Amino acid sequence: MATHFTKTRILSRVKANKGLWFLRPSTLLSNPSSPTKPQNGNLGRLMPFVLGRRYKSVEAGDPCNVEDGDQVLDFPGGRVALSPEMRFLPESAEERISCYRVLDDSGQLIEGSTFKDISKELAIKMYSQMVTLQVMDTIFYEAQRQGRISFYLTSIGEEAINIASAAALTGDDVVFPQYREPGILLWRGFTLQEFANQCFGNKADYGKGRQMPIHYGSNKLNYFTVSSPIATQIPHAVGAAYSLKMEKRNACAITFFGDGGTSEGDFHAAMNFAAVMDVPIIFICRNNGWAISTPTSEQFKSDGVVVRGQAYGIRSIRIDGNDALAVYSAVHAARDMAVSECRPILIEALTFRAGHHSTSDDSTKYRPADEIELWRTSRDPTARFRKWIERNDWWCDVDESALRTNLRKELLHAIQVAEKVEKPLLKELFTDVYDELPSNLSEQERELRRLIEKHPSDFPTDVPCRWLVMSASLEHLLMSSFYLFDSQMI
């Protein structure tokens, strides 16, 4: 069977694969579809057969040796077979790399699928969290449209990547998100009230109101704060993984990014560093076909992202990102390899952004409306996983109704509470970077306070900015005598 990914001006077919295969980094480019394949059986038997290798340098000696009748060149990095034939590597393979899948679109197990077994309790928790993420996105999106928050960005259509990957990790694994992974935080215990506090930027927000909504972070939950610039988190994650390796920690780093992020230099530098230094990290690319309005066809001509890992010497796999069981199984296997073998792993998860890029975007301007509707309905990851747990008699309509009703009440209450909480003090704009505030920032703070005093109607009225008021003549006297008067909050 085939999975169809329809894009504007491009129709690509990716062969579905029911086995969990990781591409070997040492596979020859002339045969790029040659995978590391587990033998028959469950995922528990996978690890001994998922073997890869990296080329090793050889000792100095005769630059040309003969092995089995073929000449071999001793070269730094490994021996290279010599050939009298001039042959250019093809720009791409004849067949696209297959896509690992466990559940079909109707939630049926594909016969012969290799996957990690999950219990009833884990399955119900995964589904409940996927629904929570879906409901949270809907309500916060509506809150932005009502003018109650300034910005929002949803994960609609990508719930399986969020929740299933989080379920396969441990709390010690450090997460470097892009901006579409709040489900990781949700899984680790970040409350709906904490999400609301951040979006409303009140004084209970851990970022003290300095960041835009959805830029979550939690030191306690090993979730590094979201940063808007594309792909900057990827080299940071590799550095953290290198630290985990040096400390011999039983953990890995994991970083998320979109297909657009792979066009940034940070992605390539990070991949190369991770491969050369053999660090325990999982790269997860959410290939949803679009970098805002730019389709993948205008970003790269290669077979997606998965082949890039192979080029850098990184074991890689392509999976159906809308299949929660496939995501969970692949990330679980990837974590085992990353930690036990101290190696990087690349996962390309094929999915679709069923919502707009953000509240600042209208995706119907560049994507067909019927295509969006198809993915929202027929290929929705939450609905697919629900069908599977219902077939196992683990879920029913009564459970569904109760869950969604309770979630809506809890979210609306969280929003009402967050709206009433006071905003952070104005002085917090300048704290937490330097131990002692430098003179230029002190001057900026004084200037800001002068502007607010002079033009109060131009600034928000709900930001506490009370300070000791001094006359202009007194301020001039103090400044002229080199006595810097730092206005203090009362």
Question: Which residues are tagged catalytic?
Answer: 142, 228, 357-358
Residue with tokens 């070269």: 75
Residue with tokens 């045969």: 31
According to DSSP, the residues that pair with 3 across neighbouring strands are 14
* Cα angle value 214/218/222 (rounded, 5°): 125
> Whole-angstrom Cα distance, residue 319 to residue 317?
6
Q: At residue 205, what are phi and psi to the nearest 5 degrees?
A: -70, 130
Contact indicator for 255, 176 with CB cutoff of 8 Å = yes
Q: At what angle do helices 324-340 and 120-145 cross, to 10 degrees?
A: 110
Question: Is 382 in a helix, a strand, or coil?
Answer: helix
Residue 441's Cα: distance from chain center in Å?
A: 34
> Whole-angstrom Cα distance, residue 452 to residue 92?
60
The tokens for 260 are: 């657009």
132: buried, middle or exposed (CB in 10 Å: 19+, 13-18, 0-12)?
Answer: buried
Question: Is 72 in a helix, a strand, or coil?
Answer: strand
SS3 letters across 338-357: HHHCCCEEEEEEECCCCCCC
Distances (CA, A) of 120 to 125, 326, 462: 9, 17, 47
Contact indicator for 156, 354 with CB cutoff of 8 Å = yes
Give which of 123, 197, 27 is closest to 390, Cα–Cα: 123
Contact indicator for 237, 256 with CB cutoff of 8 Å = no
> Whole-angstrom Cα distance, residue 432 to residue 273?
30
The tokens for 323 are: 């299949």
The tokens for 140 are: 């916060």
> Whole-angstrom Cα distance, residue 208 to residue 423?
8
Give which of 418, 423, 409 is closest to 193, Cα–Cα: 418
**Dihedral of the alpha carbons of 54, 58, 64, 67, in degrees to the nearest 10:** -60
